[in-house]
Amino acid sequence: MKKVQFIDLGLIDYQQAWDYQTGKHKELVDRKMRNRDLAKKGLEEEAQRHYLIFCEHPPVYTLGKSGSTDHLLLNEEQLKEEGFQFYKINRGGDITYHGPGQIVGYPIFDLECFFTDVHKYVRYLEEAVIRTLDHYGLEGIRVKGYTGVWLDSEGWLPKRKICAIGVHLSRWVTMHGFAFNINTQIDHFNNIIPCGIDDKDKAVTSLQKEIGREVDMEEVKTILKQQFAELFDFDWTVSEVST
């Protein structure tokens, strides 16, 4: 059974978290390379480590490598006045918002220990969120042509995106991940064209908005961790960290 260390960084500056996960990513890649050398020499290999990192960020907009700065509707001065940070980063996807009340997940997995299929990996991230939503009586769906998890249109309500996904892989080691809106301040998405989607029949939502009450973040994390463990077939341990 594979082991994954769960790390909760709490509320952390985006750059600090980016540096942290980049360090963990390098650790896994370096260990993989050492193991290849050990295998060639017929020596015993090190056990690969994997991490599942959860955190929240102060208000920040991040733009993926395939995104457009036109989808950020604030200029540099407005960003500063409103207290938002902005980063261009190396994940896939377009622009999104991170802020308090949102679970941001960074799986640092060596997929060669699980399966080497990027599309399957993204589907598993979506599935973990879909199963978590089911616990709250909501049916999460996928929308053809878009990543992430949505709630279907009903009555006057459009399709609503509740979880965005953007990943990066190098040597089959993952980083970045997903942003799951729990008690997120949804009006902050009004400053961007979320994920570059400017369709009138699509919107952004949160778990709090959908079920009409504030949600216990720790409860959601516990459920979400369990879904990851079942989907990826691993046991997890909790790590105490300092950044």
Q: Which segments within the chain are labelled E, that is strand?
A: 2-11, 50-56, 60-63, 85-88, 95-98, 102-108, 140-141, 149-151, 159-170, 173-181, 202-204, 234-238
In this prediction the pTM is 0.93
Q: Is residue 241's pLDDT more than 70?
A: no
Instruction: Tell me the mean pLDDT in the region 152-175.
Output: 92
Residue bearing tokens 């650790």:
27
Residue 35 has φ and ψ, to the nearest 5°, of -65, -35
Q: Are 150 and 160 in contact (CB under 8 A)?
A: yes
The model's pLDDT over 169-213, given as tens digits with 9 standing for 90+, comes to 999 999 999 999 999 999 999 987 877 777 778 899 999 999 999
- Type of residue at 85: Q
pLDDT greater at residue 214 or residue 1: 214
Q: Is residue 243's pLDDT more than 60?
A: no
Residues known to be catalytic:
195
Instruction: Tell me the mean pLDDT in the region 134-148.
Output: 95
Which pair of tokens denotes residue 17?
């978290």
Instruction: Tell me the mean pLDDT in the region 103-109.
Output: 98
Which residue segments constitute the domains of the chain, with CATH numbers given? Answer: 55-233 (3.30.930.10)
Q: Is residue 162's pLDDT more than 80?
A: yes
Residue bearing tokens 């089959």:
172
What is the predicted pLDDT for the residue at 119? Answer: 96
